[in-house]
Every structure is written in structure tokens, then in C-alpha cells.
């Protein structure tokens, strides 16, 4: 794998029914309400059933002193199990949300396969890859905690 490419996997366990978790994750317009690092979501195209074909511009803050702006197109939506999207902009690649109902909670897995595109990130990626991963993991942990608060559930 090239040093500018990253495969990042996050696992969340949310003590909530899968449909409630799905409803929150499948509605990126609401992410700024619960995900601390999501600064703004702008809808560029509405898409069809289940949001397939929709496009959004998402502005992210990070744990580091830079922001990320990407455009995300919804490629697949199988409620309440799978949501797949393609990103372009400062990061290019695909993201895949997988949800599974388990007893009293929902297992959430997010797989993010991206390549950095901005010049400074490409140049520094071989050296800063561990820092980029640390940053991503912190953003995702904050998303998990924010989703729990949003849904009114504990850890």
C-alpha cells in the first residue's frame, strides 16, 4: 500500500436498537449536532431512495491544527445494515458503515479507505502516518461518545 493511502477501521458498541443508530448515522445533515468534529454539512444533491446518489460537502475539524473538507456521495444504502459512500477532495476513497444488532446494543464498524490528496499531507504522509491515524482514531472516539449522548445511552 502506498504511504499516502490509509485503511482505518473503527468499532463502536452503542447500547441502543440498530434502527435508532442507523437513523443517526444515515443522516449526515444531523452529524454536527452530535459529532464534535463535524463543523458543517451542506447538501449538494438530494439523491434517490435511501439517499443513494446524494452528495454532501462535509467540513471536519481535527485534533490537529488543520481542517478537512470532502465531498461525499452515497453509493449504497441497505437499512439498517450497510451504508457506503465515496469521498473526494482532500481525502479520496470510500467509507463503509456496517451495523449489526446484538442483544441490547448495536455493533458499528466503520472502514475508511482513503488516500490523502493535499500536497503537504502527501509529502508528510510517510513520516506522519502514525499521527494521522491517532488523529482519525480520536475523531472517531469523539463521534462514538457524541452519538451515545445524542441517543441518551451510556457506554
pTM of the model: 0.95
Contacts of the segment 135-142: beta carbons below 8 A, 24+ positions apart: 135/62, 135/63, 135/64, 136/6, 136/8, 136/112, 137/8, 137/10, 138/63, 139/37, 139/60, 139/62, 139/63, 140/8, 140/10, 140/12, 140/110, 142/35, 142/36, 142/37
Measured between alpha carbons, how far is 125 from 11 in angstroms, rounded to an integer? Answer: 24
Measured between alpha carbons, how far is 31 from 103 in angstroms, rounded to an integer? Answer: 26
CB 38 within 8 A of CB 60: yes
| Exposure of 47 in the CB half-sphere (CA atoms within 13 A) | 18
**How confident is the model at residue 60, as a pLDDT?**
98
Q: What is the pLDDT of residues 1-10, one digit of tens each?
A: 689 999 999 9
Q: Given the C-alpha cell 431512495, which residue does it identify?
A: 49
More confident residue, 101 or 103: 101
Mean pLDDT, residues 12-18 taken together: 97
- 92: its cell numbers: 479520496
Question: Mean pLDDT for the chain?
Answer: 96
Sheet containing strand 55-60, strands side by side: 5-14, 105-116, 91-102, 82-89, 68-78, 55-60, 38-45
Mapping DSSP to helix (H, G, I), strand (E, B) and coil, where does residue 29 land? helix
Q: What is the pLDDT of residues 104-121, one digit of tens each?
A: 899 999 999 999 999 999
CATH number of 5-151: 3.30.530.20
**How confident is the model at residue 112, as a pLDDT?**
98
Listed by start position, the domains of the chain span 5-151
Measured between alpha carbons, how far is 101 from 70 in angstroms, rounded to an integer? Answer: 30
The pLDDT-based confidence of 94 (bands split at 50, 70, 90) is very high
Amino acid at each position: 500500500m502506498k504511504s499516502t493511502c490509509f485503511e482505518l477501521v473503527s468499532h463502536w458498541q452503542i447500547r441502543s436498537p440498530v434502527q435508532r443508530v442507523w437513523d443517526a448515522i444515515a443522516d449526515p445533515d444531523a452529524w454536527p449536532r452530535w459529532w464534535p468534529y463535524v463543523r458543517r454539512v451542506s447538501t449538494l444533491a438530494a439523491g434517490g431512495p435511501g439517499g443513494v446518489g446524494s452528495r454532501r460537502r462535509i467540513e471536519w475539524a481535527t485534533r490537529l491544527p488543520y481542517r478537512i473538507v470532502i465531498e461525499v456521495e452515497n453509493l449504497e444504502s441497505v437499512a439498517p445494515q450497510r451504508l457506503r459512500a465515496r469521498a473526494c477532495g482532500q481525502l479520496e476513497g470510500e467509507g463503509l458503515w456496517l451495523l449489526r444488532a446484538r442483544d441490547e446494543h448495536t455493533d458499528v464498524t466503520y472502514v475508511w479507505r482513503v488516500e490523502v490528496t493535499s500536497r503537504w499531507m502527501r509529502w508528510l504522509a510517510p513520516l506522519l502516518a502514525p499521527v494521522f491515524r491517532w488523529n482519525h482514531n480520536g475523531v472517531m472516539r469523539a463521534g462514538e461518545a457524541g452519538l451515545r449522548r445524542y441517543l441518551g445511552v451510556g457506554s
